[in-house]
């Protein structure tokens, strides 16, 4: 047997420490509070009472190892039969098959009717999945709403642009990149979409929707910081590394006389992460 009085004093001291820390916590709080001190005091208070309680159980309580029978969980055949008789016979379930069947149907119908309002939580996805705010003639503006001018952007640099009127728009965010025009290898059908080496792609990754925020000028690729999908700017933002499965949609743009840019229509494809009916937007 251990030295009981000494352990009793130790445990009493621990409980006292908890009480003291609790009061100190109150003082700290009234004086204006301080997160680190609060956390420490609370921690010490809880640790002391926890330790005290465990010591009490371990050292001072008589908690012998005991044994008891483990009874089988399954009911006896007699009990089970009695239960089943009460459940089905007395309620008449076995005789009234039709009624039981219809009761189940009634509950199913009622359940469905009660579950229907859950559909009100969201609208059905409509055309907005396939379109953005870009229209033919939308001017390219910066986040502050000011138009971007051709001279503002040095070669091999990138800027985030939006359609005039909706700066900050989530689904219309676009990257305007300036590359040496002779290096561009776009699809011939898109030759006119990138005047003087200015090319515009959706900023929303086609993988999981993160903003494709990194441009590596050395090999002219866009990299999504979330999952490292890498897109070749010179080749229509085709995915060349990482998990993205399709190019970033391209925005056809024109350079006006005054040095500003306008869109020549919406993106080439739906923007953002791919979805199952992605191509159904083409046929209307």
Partner 1 sequence: MTARPTATDSERATELDRLTGWLDERTGFARVARTVLRKIFPDHWSFLLGEVVLFCYVILVLTGVFLTFFFAADTRPVTYDGPYPPLRNAEVSAAFDSVMRLSYEVRAGLLMRQIHHWAAVVFVAAIVVHVCRIFFTGAFRRPREINWLVGVGLLLLALVAGLTGYSLPDDLLSGTGLRITDAVVAAVPFIGPWLAYLIFGGEFPSVELIGRFYVFHIMLLPALMIGGITIHLLILWFQKHTQFPGGSGAEEALEENVVGRHFWPGQVFRSLGLFFLTAAILAVLGGLVQINPVWVYGPYIPSAVSSPAQPDWYLGWLEGLLRMGPNLEPTILGITIPSLFGPAIVIPTIVFGGFALWPFIEARVTGDHRDHQLLQWPWQAPVRLGIGAGVLTFFIVLTLAGGNDVLAVYLRVGVEQLTLAFRILVVVLPIVVGLVAWRLGVERRRREDEG
CB atoms within 10 A of CB 5: 8
Nearer to partner 1, 54 or 103 (CB): 54
CA 165 to chain CA mean position, Å: 28
- Non-local (6+) Cβ contacts of 59 within 8 A are 2, 4, 7
Nearer to partner 1, 102 or 214 (CB): 214
- Name the minimum Å distance from CB 169 to partner 1: 8
Q: How would you list the strands of the sheet with 230-232, edge to edge?
A: 214-216, 221-223, 230-232, 238-241
The crossing angle, in degrees rounded to 10, of helices 4-30 and 35-55 is 160
- Name the minimum Å distance from CB 114 to partner 1: 16
- Name the minimum Å distance from CB 96 to partner 1: 31
Tokens of 278: 């992605």
- Non-local (6+) Cβ contacts of 204 within 8 A are 171, 173, 210, 211, 212, 248, 271, 272, 273
- Name the minimum Å distance from CB 67 to partner 1: 5
Radius of gyration in angstroms for the set of CA atoms belonging to the chain, rounded to a whole number = 35
The DSSP secondary-structure symbol of 175 reads: E
- Name the minimum Å distance from CB 145 to partner 1: 14
Using CA atoms, how far apart are residues 253 and 199, in angstroms rounded to an integer?
8
* 8 A C-beta contact, residue 133 and residue 163: yes
Nearer to partner 1, 69 or 78 (CB): 69
Nearer to partner 1, 70 or 97 (CB): 70
Which one, of 24, 91, 77, 17, lies nearest residue 47 by Cα?
Answer: 17
Nearer to partner 1, 211 or 265 (CB): 211
Nearer to partner 1, 68 or 90 (CB): 68
- Name the minimum Å distance from CB 265 to partner 1: 20
- Name the minimum Å distance from CB 92 to partner 1: 30
Nearer to partner 1, 79 or 89 (CB): 79
Facing residues of 16 across strands?
Answer: none
């Amino acid at each position: 047997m251990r030295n009981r009085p000494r352990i009793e004093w130790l445990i009493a001291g621990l409980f006292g420490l908890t009480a003291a820390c609790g009061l100190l916590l109150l003082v700290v709080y009234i004086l204006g509070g301080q997160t680190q001190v609060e956390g420490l005091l609370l921690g010490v208070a809880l640790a002391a009472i926890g330790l005290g309680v465990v010591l009490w159980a371990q050292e001072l309580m008589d908690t012998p190892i005991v044994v008891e029978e483990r009874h089988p969980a399954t009911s006896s055949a007699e009990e089970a039969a009695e239960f089943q008789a009460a459940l089905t016979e007395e309620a008449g379930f076995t005789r009234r098959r039709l009624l039981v069947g219809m009761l189940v149907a009634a509950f199913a119908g009622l359940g469905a009717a009660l579950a229907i309002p859950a559909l009100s939580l969201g609208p059905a996805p409509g055309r907005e999945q396939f379109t953005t705010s870009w229209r033919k003639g939308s001017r390219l503006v910066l986040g502050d709403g000011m138009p971007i001018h051709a001279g503002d952007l040095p070669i091999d640099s990138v800027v985030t642009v939006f359609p005039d009127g909706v700066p900050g728009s989530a689904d219309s965010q676009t990257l305007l990149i300036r590359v040496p025009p002779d290096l561009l290898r776009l699809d011939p059908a898109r030759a006119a979409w990138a005047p003087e080496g200015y090319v515009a792609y959706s900023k929303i990754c086609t993988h999981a929707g993160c903003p494709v925020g990194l441009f590596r000028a050395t090999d002219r690729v866009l990299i999504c910081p979330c999952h490292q999908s890498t897109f070749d700017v010179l080749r229509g933002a085709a995915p060349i590394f990482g998990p993205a499965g399709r190019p970033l949609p391209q925005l056809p743009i024109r350079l006006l006389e005054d040095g500003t840019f306008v869109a020549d229509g919406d993106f080439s494809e739906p923007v953002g992460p791919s979805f199952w009916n992605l191509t159904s937007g083409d046929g209307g």
